[in-house]
Amino acid sequence: MKQNKGLNRRQFLRNSTIGIAGAGLLAHENWLGASQEEQEEAPKIKEYRTLGRTGFKVSDIGSGGPMEPSILSALLDANVNYIDTAENYGSGQSERVTGEVLKGRDRKSIFVTTKLGIGRKSSKEQILKRARKCLERLEMDYVDCLMMHSPDKVEIVKSPGFHEAITELKAEGRVKYCGLSNHGAQWKDKVDPTEQVVGAAAEDGRFDVMLLVYNFIQKDSGERLLKICREKNIGVTLMKTNPVRSYHSMKEEAEKLEKEGKPGGFYKAILPRLKEKADKADHFIKKYNLQNNNEIRDAAIRFVLNNQDVHTVCISFNNFDDVANYVKLSGGRLTETDQAKLTAYREGCGTLYCRHACGICEPECPQGVPVNTIMRYDHYFAAQGREKYAMMKYAELSAQKANTCQTCEGHCESACPYGIPIQGLLALAHQRLTLV
């Protein structure tokens, strides 16, 4: 995880007129000497939206996977009231942090979601045991929503064990709503397309909330998912809303590896294609004055908030700067300037963004490389600044890693409908995630 660099706590309170500063960053009662004026000037969430059939009014900016107590406290003091976590975030640490920080808060005013990974043979008893462990870590009597975490087959969506467990937990008052998250293929075996999985969950009728991928580059598929949810009055929360990464740094890294000559054969064959795409991106960035990634980031969030089918955007807040920068976007709407920048960015840089939850190329890989999963870890590293977490997840991956891509003929790249130099991106991801 990225450390809390940037603003310190006192600066955060005093300089938060451009973003959300939380009172009680270390504890709700302890403002460390912040004056009443400083407390009052801290901006707050500006908009709440009805989370589908749940009827709950959630903040349009939500917290995704909290790991730092002080950061989550700041968000709650800014009136963020949607918290997304999971049993496997930090091996349960995210749930522990959520429970610790929510002590003494008005629990009924905060919507808490946690998630369980469900297998094809997960039994009711196994799921009940794990769900109750979640509640123990959260130190809560109930969670507002228990989600099935990233099922990749329609048959899992209909898991008898999961739904029987949900029914029992609801009867006990331990769970209010049932949900589903999906960010594409996992590496284990053959999977169903995301739209098919989400569509099956919507038709099933037992899922009240979904966590989905939608952003200005991955626009069409995201809007199809939003339409499915709107028609069934399902609450929509979002992840992967900012596809922007530093292509300048990516190009520099590729050139550095080329100079080092490792591995020579691979880079002679593949790196020129990757550099060609990066050069084109550079051209558009300079032509349309898109060199300020923060402006694009803000426009990307306003893009998704502009869609009323979106109820809250789950963001991983790594430091106080993130709190200030993201929560200030609450209530925002897309401007003409925003739209022009995003259109130019998509045209010039879209071919360097591997679409989350896509997986089109994976069946073509003779080595079974989990392209979607590896590129998601690379996104955590390069776009979200979660370097340690990304490297840990990649190290834990028992499937074929991307080092095999260096000597491949490029089956994935030939199959990609978006023209992405995915073979090169996979190889760079392997370099980053292993530091080789």
User: In what helix (H) or strand (E) does residue 239 lie, and over which residues does it extend?
Assistant: strand 235-239
Burial 188-226 (b: 16+ CB within 10 A, else e): eeebbbbeebbbbbbeeeebbbbbbbbbbbbbebbeebb
pLDDT of 296 reads 84
Task: Please state the three-class secondary structure of 369-418 as a single string.
Answer: CCHHHHHHHHHHHHCCCCHHHHHHHHHHCCCCCHHHHHHCCCHHHHHCCC
The whole model's pTM is what?
0.83
For CA atoms 290, 293, 294, 297, the dihedral sign is positive
Which residues, in sequence order, are CB contacts of 344 under 8 Å at separation 6+? 284, 287, 288, 290
Among candidates 314, 375, 303, which has minimal Cα distance to 181?
Answer: 314
Q: Is the peptide bond before 263 cis (omega within 30 degrees of 0)?
A: yes
268: pLDDT strictly greater than 70: no
pLDDT of 344 reads 81
pLDDT of 397 reads 87
294: pLDDT strictly greater than 70: yes
Give the Cα separation of 253 and 394 in Å (integer). Answer: 19
pLDDT of 150 reads 86
**Residue 417: DSSP 8-state:** T
17: pLDDT strictly greater than 70: no
State pLDDT tens for residues 217-258.
989 889 999 999 999 999 999 998 988 765 556 666 666 666
Q: What is the DSSP string of 94-114?
A: HHHHHHHHHTTS-GGG-EEEE
Give the Cα separation of 416 and 111 in Å (integer). Answer: 39
- What number of residues does the chain have? 436
pLDDT of 20 reads 33
Give the Cα separation of 102 and 108 in Å (integer). Answer: 11
Name which residue leads in pLDDT, 128 or 10. Answer: 128
Q: Where are the alpha helices (DSSP H) in 106-159?
A: 124-138, 154-157
Confidence of residue 334 (pLDDT cuts 50, 70, 90): very high
Measured CA distances, 275 to 11, 258, 271, 352, 375 (Å) = 41, 11, 6, 10, 18
The dihedrals phi and psi of 140, each to the nearest 5 degrees, come to -130, 150
Report, as an integer, the average pLDDT of 15-31: 37
Q: Return the number of other C-beta atoms located less than 10 Å from residue 308's C-beta.
A: 9
How far is C-alpha 194 from the chain's CA centre? Answer: 16
How far is C-alpha 80 from the chain's CA centre? Answer: 17
pLDDT of 30 reads 38
pLDDT of 3 reads 39
Name which residue leads in pLDDT, 415 or 273. Answer: 415
pLDDT of 262 reads 55
Give the Cα separation of 60 and 42 in Å (integer). Answer: 18
In this structure, of 54-58, 289-293, 325-329, the range with the lowest mean pLDDT score is 289-293
Give the Cα separation of 194 and 344 in Å (integer). Answer: 27
416: pLDDT strictly greater than 50: yes
Report, as an integer, the average pLDDT of 296-301: 90
pLDDT of 65 reads 85
Give the Cα separation of 102 and 112 in Å (integer). Answer: 10
In this structure, of 236-245, 256-265, 417-426, the range with the lowest mean pLDDT score is 256-265
29: pLDDT strictly greater than 50: no
Cβ contact 230:373 at 8 Å: no
Report, as an integer, the average pLDDT of 353-357: 80
pLDDT of 382 reads 77
Give the Cα separation of 144 and 148 in Å (integer). Answer: 14
Among candidates 297, 243, 304, 316, which has minimal Cα distance to 83?
Answer: 316
319: pLDDT strictly greater than 60: yes
Bridge partners of 114, per DSSP, are 146
State pLDDT tens for residues 35-60.
455 445 567 899 999 999 999 999 99
Q: Which region, left, alpha or beta, applies to residue 24 given φ > 0 means left and ψ of -120 to 50 means alpha? A: left
3-state secondary structure of 48: strand
User: In what helix (H) or strand (E) does residue 373 lie, and over which residues does it extend?
Assistant: helix 371-382
Confidence of residue 21 (pLDDT cuts 50, 70, 90): very low
123: pLDDT strictly greater than 50: yes
Confidence of residue 13 (pLDDT cuts 50, 70, 90): low
Report, as an integer, the average pLDDT of 70-82: 96
Confidence of residue 302 (pLDDT cuts 50, 70, 90): very high
State pLDDT tens for residues 162-217.
999 999 999 999 999 999 999 765 544 567 888 899 999 999 999 999 999 999 99
Name which residue leads in pLDDT, 326 or 292. Answer: 326
Cβ contact 115:181 at 8 Å: yes
Confidence of residue 26 (pLDDT cuts 50, 70, 90): very low
Give the Cα separation of 72 and 320 in Å (integer). Answer: 10
Report, as an integer, the average pLDDT of 81-91: 94
3-state secondary structure of 364: helix
The pLDDT mean for the chain works out to: 83
